A and B are shown apart, each in its own frame.
Chain A
Amino acid sequence: MSLSRRDIENIAHLARLGLSDAEVPVYAESLNRIIALVGELDHAATEGVLPMSHPLPGLTQRLRADEVTESDQRELYQRNAAQVMAGLYLVPKVIE
């Protein structure tokens, strides 16, 4: 199968990536090449093989107790934000 211009626009929308009109065909071409490459996986016999869930055998992600471990550093963190007011992050109006 091959991805069309429309498919690329849909994927870009799902990923919230703004693309210019000129970029769309470029990504269509390169994504189609990548999909052809990963299509090689179709030939692998994987019946009965469990999907790998962790790179180290027998291990799973460690969990910790649900306890507060961080102190409040809002001001420090908000120094990297584009727009802040009264300790709040500002975004364009969402509800009219």
Chain B
Amino acid sequence: MHSETVAQLQQGLRARKYSAVELTRALLARIESAQPALNAFISIESEAALAAAAVADQRLAAGDAPALTGVPIAHKDIFCAAGSRTTCGSKMLSNFISPYDSTVVARLRAAGAVVLGKTNMDEFAMGSSNETSHFGPVRNPWNLKLVPGGSSGGSAAAVAARLVPAATATDTGGSIRQPAALCGVTGLKPTYGRVSRYGMIAFASSLDQAGVLARTAEDVALLLKPMAGFDPRDSTSVECEVPDYQAALNQPLKGLRIGLLKEFFDQGLDPRIEALLRTALEQLRAQGATLTDVSLPNLPLSVPTYYVVAPAECSSNLARFDGVRFGHRCENPRDLKDLYERSRGEGFGAEVKRRIMTGTYVLSAGYYDAYYLKAQRVRALIAADFERAFSTVDVLIGPTTPTVAFEIGAKTNDPVTMYLNDIYTIGANLAGLPGVSIPCGLVDGLPAGLQIVGPHFSEARLLNVAHRYQQESDWHQRTPEAYR
């Protein structure tokens, strides 16, 4: 059962090949046995999962079951779920029981999905390796010495190790696509405003977006459908029709205009990943797509732009953690200032503090124009570069990451080296664009990712291209040896 995709599980459950309870039990057992090695979960919710699975079986028997009934999933621990612990990977929220449901959690539950637990992540989604989690690093199922990527590393590792067929995730600078690439799974970051962020703990509000990690583009489409759509409770949610993603998957690629991002093939890309990309591109060309080189001259400024905008927004968003209404509170505060400073100093980890301070600095009196306003101007230039490119091509393709997974501890000493992991993914966040990463080969036995970025609200087209590629390749079916 664990090797089946969401699409296969839907059929298996409806054909009564296995019950939702049997499926849930089998995957919970896999999660428990993998947990000591991978640490992919922060909370395993066996009791609630089995109860939900029993309800799913009743609905399947009654014949009134919505599409995902009985399909087991996991949520990144950034999504609030009523009555369950939601930590965001932080000591600050290690005892926080959410009083309400995020829209993503509520909609997937309404679609019938059974939640097995909450996945590990970089603290407050700030990291590219899952090493900043208060609950310890997640390990990469392909090699336990390596990072799974971040910040949605727990979700990516859980899908790669076949603990769940799909998991929710979030992406502020690459946090869905980068771990998807490093763990050999498929990950979609939708357009800004496509999926509601109500109840999703905020990091950088002009960049954050919720999405999906799964094994195939088809499975991503199956989860995205119920997740996407307007939500009056999120002021950034866009009123824009949700297309039938599944129906668009098989559309032929004939006439598809693919732009190759010159800047992505320039700087620091492992030549072995480039070779895999060229092979994949040939395969898409063989299906009728045309390839053109495209240059986005301002794209190399993505990383510095991001490291002004994201910390600035994070310093503002995380001001709410004051030790008073919820979250960690220090022992025996002397006065109010001591309460704030010690609660925050103890509750936040090193990377979160670094970003809060960076953000506080770039927003402080006398520096706002030089840093924040300047970065928002450069951001407009980067967005204009993308817009210009999409006047001549339908999608842009490049690598997801410059290298395959690196060793745990290898980049923790220098934040800037760590930040450069997201060099190919940040551009889409700055411009609010959707992007998908799909497995395109192995380098030294480790997965590499191909990234497809499209215009706003082009998720159906991106999943279509990804699906057509996956029909002609089997990289997305490769499974780490220990988890087959």
Contacts and interface: CB of A to CB of B under 8 A. Distances in A.
A73 B99 contact: yes
A61 B236 contact: yes
Contact of B324 (A8, A39, A81): A81
Interface in A14-70: 14-20, 23, 26-27, 30-31, 33-42, 44, 46, 49-57, 59, 61-64
Contacts of B353: 17, 19, 23, 27
A61 B371 CA distance: 23
Interface in B419-454: 419, 430-432
Interface residues of A, number: 56
13 contacts: A11-B357, A16-B322, A17-B357, A18-B338, A36-B416, A38-B307, A41-B304, A49-B381, A73-B99, A76-B99, A80-B327, A91-B333, A91-B336
Interface of A: 3, 8, 11-12, 14-20, 23, 26-27, 30-31, 33-42, 44, 46, 49-57, 59, 61-64, 73, 76-83, 89, 91-94
B346 A18 contact: yes
Contacts of B431: 55
B59 interface: no
Contacts of A44: 298, 301, 374, 377-378, 381
A41 B324 contact: no
A50 B238 CA distance: 23
Nearest to A8: B357
Interface of B: 95-97, 99, 191-193, 206-207, 232, 235-238, 298, 301, 303-305, 307-308, 315, 322-327, 329, 333-342, 344-346, 348, 350, 353-354, 356-358, 360-362, 364, 371, 373-381, 383, 387, 414-416, 419, 430-432, 456
Contact of B432 (A56, A76, A92): A56
Contact of A40 (B304, B326, B327, B342): B304
Contacts of A18: 338, 341-342, 344-346
Given A44-B378, A51-B376, 4 more contacts: A41-B308, A49-B377, A49-B381, A91-B333
A72 to B, nearest CB: 13
B341 A33 contact: no
Q: Main secondary structure on chain A at its contact with chain B?
A: loop
Contacts of A54: 206
Contacts of B430: 55
Contacts of A20: 345
A30 B354 contact: yes
A34 B378 contact: no
Contact of A62 (B235, B307, B344): B235
A20 B353 CA distance: 12
A48 B176 CA distance: 34
Contacts of A91: 324, 333, 336, 339
A90 to B, nearest CB: 9
Contacts of A56: 191-193, 238, 432, 456
A95 to B, nearest CB: 10
Given A46-B381, A53-B376, A61-B236, A30 B344 contact: no
A33 B358 CA distance: 11
A62 B342 CA distance: 37
A34 B416 contact: yes
